[in-house]
Amino acid sequence: MSAPSNLPPQVFRQAVEQAALAISITDEQANILYANPAFERVTGYRAEEVVGRNQSLLSYKVTPDLVYETLWAQLRRQRAWNGMLVNRRSDGGRYLADLTITPVVDAAGKTSHYLGMHRDVTEVHHLERQVQNQKAMIESVVDAAQVAICLLDERDHVVLDNQEYKKLIGDLGREPVALLLTRLREQMGAEFDAARASRRAIRQRAVKVERHGQPARWFACAVSWFDEQDASADAFYEPTKRHYLLLTAQDISELKRQQEAIRLNSLSALLAEQERIQSLRETLAGAVFQLEGPLNTLTAAVRLLERRREGNGEEAFDVAIETALRDSRAALDTLSACIPDQRAEAIQPLNLNEVLRDVLKMSTAALLAAGVVVEWRPAQELPAVHGGATQLAAMFRQLLANAIEAMNERRAGDQGHERVVRLITLPHADHVEVILEDTGPGIPTEWRYKVFEPFFTTKGAERGHLGLGLSMAQDTVARHGGLIDLDSDYREGCRVRVQLPLAAGGVK
């Protein structure tokens, strides 16, 4: 490229003199012919000190020979070379030079001079290395973390993840961050979007992931958002931010399983205790009921005798019989007072699907032992009812136990009969309905209401049945403001329907 003819040569000279880059012009042996003031500022050598000396005076001798060989091979082909060299200043200090050398070719096509331009990039290099080191450090810390970490950009692209996260990709079979965020959003509803809009961090939340045919997994998830200043040239005068989402997820499935086992164990213990009290109540109530009849008859007989013998003067006999009656009544009252109270229990909003799921889990052994197939058909969405979780669980367990027992009875005489328990939940406008069907012998229509009476049993007292199970179930349902009945149209076995009102109301 030739200089424009309308520009005087001193303009070029001044431009080179005032340039911020260290500029030197050498002969074809790299002997310095000219150095500008910036060269002095960068190298510490004054122009008069370096003119006539070789450019190699700047070499710190740690730059590999191969770099120089490449440099000169390029220049020999009359091509410009650019690269990094470690240079030494006049005071002995080192700096990193970003150097460009351009051959100056004469009219005969021969290289007559070289133009060298360089700047000190030590500080830039230092910062770049620092950034790289920090990045490497962050990546190794993130990789070593025992929680899955994933960073998403605003287009939901994963820009950083760690080993634990990569393991999750293998386990969950799709992009785990999308799955976990979807579950979190479903669980939190509008709260999630509000947190996102205000960039408010979401602290640890347990998120359940269910996959077909595999046990459910639980993750403690936390989400935070942060902004990064856009570093592109476009954003230099118009700063913009990039938004990122950071998700951490820790697998807590084992912990959840343990908690679930502990919860079921304590619920089982609570139910066993309640059943023990219940049976005590039944026994004592039975004893009181049994004694009340003859005692009432005796009282009536005594009153009759008293009237007949009025004025006969047998006061001693009257006193004795009165005392016996009074003592008997007092004993009966004492017995009644011994009947333990129904346990007080916190009334709370309940999802009957969860209560029934617990009941099924606790009854697994009994169902397996009886060879009963369970068809569990919970409604997808079930509104809450207000109730005592233990009371309702105990009641449904009683109904399930009745069904198993009924089918065991039928099995005795009908070997090939299929034993199925169908448990269905249905939402209605003002109540939730639970249907329990079995394939046992069923209950005759004429006993449809009688079976709810205390002490009525279809099984016979000689087999240890007091006949209080359905009566107690009715008592529990009534205390929840609900209804229980038997479907007389059902012919396959027995169908019990329990209806419990939605949350308003409560339990007496």
Asked if 395 interacts with ligand FAD (CB under 6 A), we say no
Tokens of 203: 């602290």
Instruction: Outline where 9-161 has alpha helix (H).
Output: 9-18, 37-43, 47-50, 65-76, 122-144
Q: 498: closest CA among 442, 443, 435?
A: 435
- H/E segment holding residue 34: strand 32-35
Q: 205: closest CA among 217, 188, 189, 193?
A: 188
Which positions from 456 through 485 interact with ligand FAD, judged by CB under 6 A? none
Choose one: 24-32, 169-177, 275-283, 290-298; the region binding ligand FAD (CB under 6 A): 24-32
Query: Residues 502, 383: contact at Cβ < 8 Å?
Result: yes
Binding mask 299-328 for ligand FAD (x = CB under 6 A): ------------------------------
Question: At its nearest, how many Å lie between ligand FAD and the CB of residue 33?
Answer: 10
Residue from 23, 97, 404, 423 binding ligand FAD (CB under 6 A): 97
Question: At its nearest, how many Å lie between ligand FAD and the CB of residue 13?
Answer: 18
**Residues 449, 486: Cα–Cα separation, whole Å:** 8
Question: At its nearest, how many Å lie between ligand FAD and the CB of residue 110?
Answer: 13
Question: At its nearest, how many Å lie between ligand FAD and the CB of residue 64?
Answer: 10
Choose one: 66-74, 151-159, 178-186, 355-363; the region binding ligand FAD (CB under 6 A): 66-74
Asked if 59 interacts with ligand FAD (CB under 6 A), we say yes
- Positive/negative CA dihedral, 469, 474, 477, 479: negative
Contacts of 202 (CB under 8 A, 6+ apart): 184, 188, 192, 195, 221, 222, 223, 224
Residue from 11, 12, 14, 56 binding ligand FAD (CB under 6 A): 56
Asked if 69 interacts with ligand FAD (CB under 6 A), we say yes
Asked if 36 interacts with ligand FAD (CB under 6 A), we say no
Asked if 114 interacts with ligand FAD (CB under 6 A), we say yes
User: Quick one: 73 or 235, whose CB is closer to ligand FAD?
Assistant: 73
Choose one: 23-31, 172-180, 267-275, 452-460; the region binding ligand FAD (CB under 6 A): 23-31
**Residues 89, 95: Cα–Cα separation, whole Å:** 7
DSSP state letters, 200-227:
PPEEEEEEEE--TTS--EEEEEEEEEEE
Q: How big is the site for ligand FAD, counted in residues (CB under 6 A)?
A: 23
Residue from 96, 101, 406, 470 binding ligand FAD (CB under 6 A): 101
Contacts of 107 (CB under 8 A, 6+ apart): none
Beta strands 431-438 and 111-120, pairing class: unpaired
Positions that interact with ligand FAD (CB under 6 A): 24, 26, 29-30, 54-56, 58-59, 61, 63, 65, 68-69, 72, 85, 87, 97, 99, 101, 114, 116, 118
